[in-house]
Structure 1
C-alpha cells in the first residue's frame, strides 16, 4: 500500500470527539465526505477511521469519526498525520502528487527554455512551492498557484511554468 498525507491533527475541538486538522495541499483539495475511510498514521501503523462529520472552522477542518464520540477517545490522536491509501482513491481526480513531480524537467512556458529540474515540493499548508534546481546548481522556488503553473505533463515528466520578472534571482 502507498499512503498520501492529507494533513495533521493539531488538537481536539470540544468534548464530543471532534478533531482539528491542518490540511496540506492534498487535504485542501480532497473531497472530504462522511463515510469516507482515512487512516491515522502513528508509529508506522495505520489505523482506519470512518468519517462521520466534516465541517470547516477558520483555517482548520473539523472531523468526527465513528466510535470516537468522546474527547478521551481522540486525545491521543494529537500531532498524528491523516493519510489515505492511494489504492482506494482515484488519483486522476488529483492533478498530481508530490512523488509524481520529483525529477520532472521544468520549462518556461512562454519560450520552452529549460529552467532545470524539480527537486522538491515544499508544502507550507497554504499553496506550496516547487523547488527547481538550475543547471548551475542554484535553486529557486515557484509558487504552487495556477497563475504560475501552465501545464504538468505526467507522460513526458515535464512541468511548464509562467515565469515573471524577479522569480529567479541573478547575482
Structure 2
C-alpha cells in the first residue's frame, strides 16, 4: 500500500447506471478522473485496478463511472472503499508544492521538536498539517509561508515559524 496515494473515498452509489459518488481529497481532479485513467480501490489489503469511463461533478462530489461497471449492482460493493493512484502515475511538482503523502511522517520543529505530521487536511483557503505530539493534544498548523519556513523531504523535516499561541 505504500506505493499508492490517497485520492478520496467512495461515499455512495449514484443512480442506477454504475456511477460512484466520491468525496475527493486531491488537487488534481482533472488528471485523476480523466477518461482512461487508472484508479485503485481499496477495502483493506486488496487493491482493485479500475479504468475511468466518465467523470462529472455534482454537489461537491465527483461522480465516476468505471469501464465495465454498468449498473448499480456492479458497484454497490465498492461503497466505503478508498480511492488511490499509483505513485508511478504522479507528475513532478513545482518547487514549493508537495504531495500530502510526502509530508506525512515528517518531524516538525519550531523553537524545539513539536511532533510528527500525522495527516494533511485540505481546509479551503489553506492546507493544515495535523501534528501528533507525545503525550499532548494534536495541533493543526496552516501550511502557508507565514508559518512553514522550510520543508526538507530527504530528511523528512519541516521547520515552522512558531509564533505565540500557535502550538499551545
Give the TM interval when normalised to the shorter protein.
0.7 to 0.9
Q: Which residue of 2 aligns with 1:55?
A: 56
1:143 is displaced (CA, Å) by 3.6
Q: Residue 69 of structure 2: SS of its match in structure 1?
A: coil
Match of 1:110 in 2: none
The alpha-carbon distance between structure 1 residues 63 and 143, as it changes in their structure 2 partners (threshold 3 A), is farther
1:1-171 correspondence runs (5 A): 2-24=3-25, 27-29=26-28, 31-32=31-32, 33-86=34-87, 88-90=88-90, 92-93=92-93, 95-98=98-101, 100-107=103-110, 113-121=111-119, 123=121, 127-133=127-133, 137-146=135-144, 148-169=147-168
Deviation string, structure 1 residues 5-51 (Cα, Å, up to 9, x no partner): 22111101112211101123xx3445322211011113422111001
Moved more, 155-164 or 47-56: 155-164
Structure 2 CA distance for partners of 1:59 and 1:163, relative to 1, 3 Å: farther
Give the whole-Å Cα distance in 2 for the aligned partners of 1:28 and 1:90. 12
Gapped regions of structure 1 (runs ≥ 5):
108-112
2:123 and 2:10 mapped to 1: Cα distance?
A: 13
Return the alpha-carbon distance in structure 1 between the equivalents of residues 101 and 153 of structure 2.
12
Q: 1:105 to 1:83 in 2, by over 3 A?
A: same
Query: Could you tell me how far apart the structure 1 residues matched to 2:56 and 2:133 are?
Result: 39
Contact 1:55–1:62, Cα closer than 8 Å, also in 2 = yes
Task: State the distance in 2 between where 1:14 and 1:162 align.
Answer: 48
Determine if contact 2:54/2:64 at 8 Å carries over to the other structure: yes
Q: Which runs of 5+ in 2 are unaligned?
A: none
CA deviation profile, 1:88-107 (whole Å, cap 9, x unmatched): 22364371343653142423
SS of 1:102's partner is: coil
Deviant stretches of 4+, over 6 Å:
none
- Tell me the TM-score normalised to structure 1 length: 0.74
